[in-house]
A and B are shown apart, each in its own frame.
Chain A
Amino acid sequence: MAATIALEGVVKRYPGAVTTAVDGISLDIAAGEFFALLGPSGCGKTTLLRMLAGFERPDQGRIRIDGQDMQDVPPYARPVNMMFQSYALFPHMTVFDNVAFGLRQAKRPNDEIAARTTAMLDLVKLGALGKRKPGQLSGGEKQRVALARALVNEPKLLLLDEPLTALDRKLREETRFELVRIQQRVGITFLMVTHDQEEAMSMATRIAVMDKGRISQLGAPDEVYERPANRFVAGFLGSINLFEAQVRATAPGVLMLESAEANAPLSVADPRDLAMGTPITLAIRPEKIALGTQRDPQWVNALTGIVHGVAYRGEASDVEVALASGKIVRVTAANRDRRVGNALTVGQKVFLGWPREAATVLAS
């Protein structure tokens, strides 16, 4: 697949700002991808989005869409449309007129405008609400009008700025599936900006995790989650336990480690052949740790600790376990049994364990 969107060393500094908003980003996005820019606020993801839309000009670098340089192309002439975080629906126009706005600007014939607008409203299941004003819509309906309005021009690229943030939790979960379905139907490249890792992972085909104006890691959602390249990515995508450790010995495909924090020998599946004594950081996600009141003899990595805190969430419980070293390990235990009472109590002695493949070694 040819790259439709190409960013080449894009830099943006705002006048008077201390840090560089976007600090040399190069990125290729293929046609038909659902791509997510994920990062905390101030990481430059929104600036990048605004540069693609044409509201900001890069100080350095090039943005190409289908090979065409966008440097001097104003927003109204770009084959790009955007769904705004606030939705930015025109309050003085009906839903129909909002959606038809782009086609009217393109001076399409009237019957074509009516047909395409109606079809787009049907696609987002708002066919019956065309005559309403935005003020009479619910949050979810507004979001769908904004999506329809941005899609009706059939852009080469659709930009979505925090598309689900303004919705409540239940609606957000339903809308995730809906957005992916719509994207597959229209076949347009989607570029989403979000600070919500769940949102990015559940919808995108690829994620770029951004930090301080740079891309920290780029990959498929499971890649980024299971093999984080560094501490920032590991910590930003869900919670993670980190153990400072040294290499004690190596076997083919396995690193034997010792860690003062863990207070027990550890081992991890890793193809690298590192010298003895090399300091590394071992990272393991809370849901990959097994927790029991008895020690399972099959566990390769086994720790002992006492329960420090329990947060019951319904489908799972987050348990904090204090090790002898004082290190707190976070474990997410699925509540498989339908059990009331008889939960873990603070101060109780528990055993933790995980297989070699469950943990990963962080580069930095």
Chain B
Amino acid sequence: MSNRLSPFLAVMMALGFAFLYGPIASVIVYSFNASRLVTVWAGFSVRWYGELFANEQIMRAALTSFEIALMSATGALILGTATGFVLSRYRRFIGRYFFGALVTGPLVMPEVITGLSLLLLFVAMEQLFGWPRGRGISTIVIAHITLGMAYVSVVIEARLSAFDRSLEEAALDLGARPWKVFAVITLPLIAPALVAGWLLAFTLSFDDLVIASFTTGPSATTLPMVIFSSVRLGLSPQINALATILLVVVAAFILISARLVARTRRSAGS
């Protein structure tokens, strides 16, 4: 048997990739277009990148998104790690399976439902205790934490279930107290998984439109919201430039986190 593809399979693969990545490629190509019209090629230019960085509305939204992603990824990391520990270390407690299902629920929940229910919760809470006062960055961060921690807990649980407990016992046996063991043995060994989880939560938060739209208020506009609303008013090549930058950043993040997850797998085997 040869390893060469049959012509049929090769064509199908080319079509498949074209369907998946053709639109993305065209966005990148047209971001370097000199023309204002998005569909007409008029020569290479980086003009739209310059205009993009001069666009105050977009820059402010990017900063807001960055701020939200930073806070919610950190919050999701802390809560998700705690949850991952409970799921992998405490094998027996009443309602463990129910707890596990609840934790991973947000992974499969439609975003519209998550967004809507959180909005209703925030409104009700404001009426009952006067907090959160209005909606904005803080409510989006809370909403993104609930989504991000589900992903983080799955990553951490997977890492911990491959973790050799005798390493922790050995450290304990050699005189390290439990917190010291966590700091010098457990934490360094699961660090790649922690970074991967954080990056994942960051990416999820940064490009989320639906949940953010539900839970935001007049004070906070995130980058995806600006893009979405500006597209409705008519395409600007600036958006193409922005999309290209985002694509590069997100791809870099995902590549790094995938690498880290792969490395944890390998070191878990030793």
Tell me the A residues contacting B by CB distance below 8 Å.
53-55, 74-77, 80-82, 84-86, 88, 90-92, 101-102, 105-106, 134-135, 149-150, 153
Question: In angstroms, how far is the closest chain B Cβ from the Cβ of A93?
Answer: 9
In this assembly, does B130 line the interface, its C-beta being within 8 Å of a C-beta of chain A?
no
Q: Which of A54, A90, A134, A150 contacts B185 (CB 8 A)?
A: A90
Interface of B is mostly: helix
- Are A105 and B173 closer than 8 Å at their CB atoms? no
30 contacts between A and B (CB under 8 A): A53-B173, A74-B172, A75-B169, A75-B173, A76-B172, A76-B177, A76-B178, A81-B173, A82-B173, A84-B166, A84-B169, A84-B170, A85-B166, A86-B164, A88-B164, A88-B166, A88-B169, A88-B170, A90-B167, A90-B170, A91-B167, A91-B189, A91-B267, A92-B189, A102-B174, A105-B174, A105-B175, A105-B176, A106-B175, A135-B270
**Docked complex Cα distance between A101 and B170 (Å):** 10
Interfacial chain B residues near A86, Cβ < 8 Å: 164, 166
Q: What residue of chain A has the Cβ atom nearest to residue B180's Cβ?
A: A105
Measured CA separation A81–B171 after assembly (Å)? 10
Q: A-B pairs with the 10 shortest C-beta distances? A: A105-B175, A102-B174, A88-B170, A88-B166, A75-B172, A84-B166, A105-B176, A82-B173, A76-B175, A88-B167
Interface string of B148-186 (1 = CB under 8 A from A): 000000000000000010110111111111101000010
Residue contact A82 to B270, C-beta cutoff 8 Å = no
A153 to B176, CA, bound (A): 12
Which of A85, A86, A88, A92: most chain B CB closer than 10 A? A88
The answer to whether residues A153 and B174 also contact, given A88-B164, A90-B167 and a CB cut-off of 8 A, is yes
Which has the most chain A C-beta neighbours within 10 Å: B166, B177, B180?
A: B166
B166 A149 Cβ-Cβ under 8 A:
no
Residues in chain A near residue B188, CB distance under 8 A: 92
Taking the nearest CB of chain B, how far is it from the CB of A131, in angstroms?
A: 18
Question: In the complex the two chains form, is A80's CB within 8 Å of B171's CB?
Answer: no
Hey, which bits of chain B sit against chain A, CB under 8 A?
164, 166-167, 169-178, 180, 185, 188-189, 267, 270
The closest CB in chain B to the CB of A84 belongs to B166
Interface centre among B171, B175, B178, B185 (most CB of A within 10 A): B175
A55–B185 contact, CB under 8 A? no
Question: B185: nearest residue on chain A (CB-CB)?
Answer: A90
Cα A54 to Cα B175 in complex, Å, equals: 12
Given contacts A82-B170, A88-B164, A92-B189, contact A134 B175 (CB under 8 A): no
B167 partner residues in chain A, CB cutoff 8 A: 88, 90-91
Contact between chains at B270 and A91 (CB < 8 Å): yes
Given contacts A88-B164, A90-B185, A91-B270, contact A55 B174 (CB under 8 A): no
Chain A contacts for B180, CB-based, 8 A = 105
For residue A253, give the distance in angstroms from its CB to the closest CB of chain B.
Answer: 51
Give which listed residue, B171, B172, B175, contacts A90 with CB less than 8 A.
B171
- If A84-B166, A88-B164, A90-B167 touch, whether A76 touches B176 (CB-CB below 8 Å) is yes
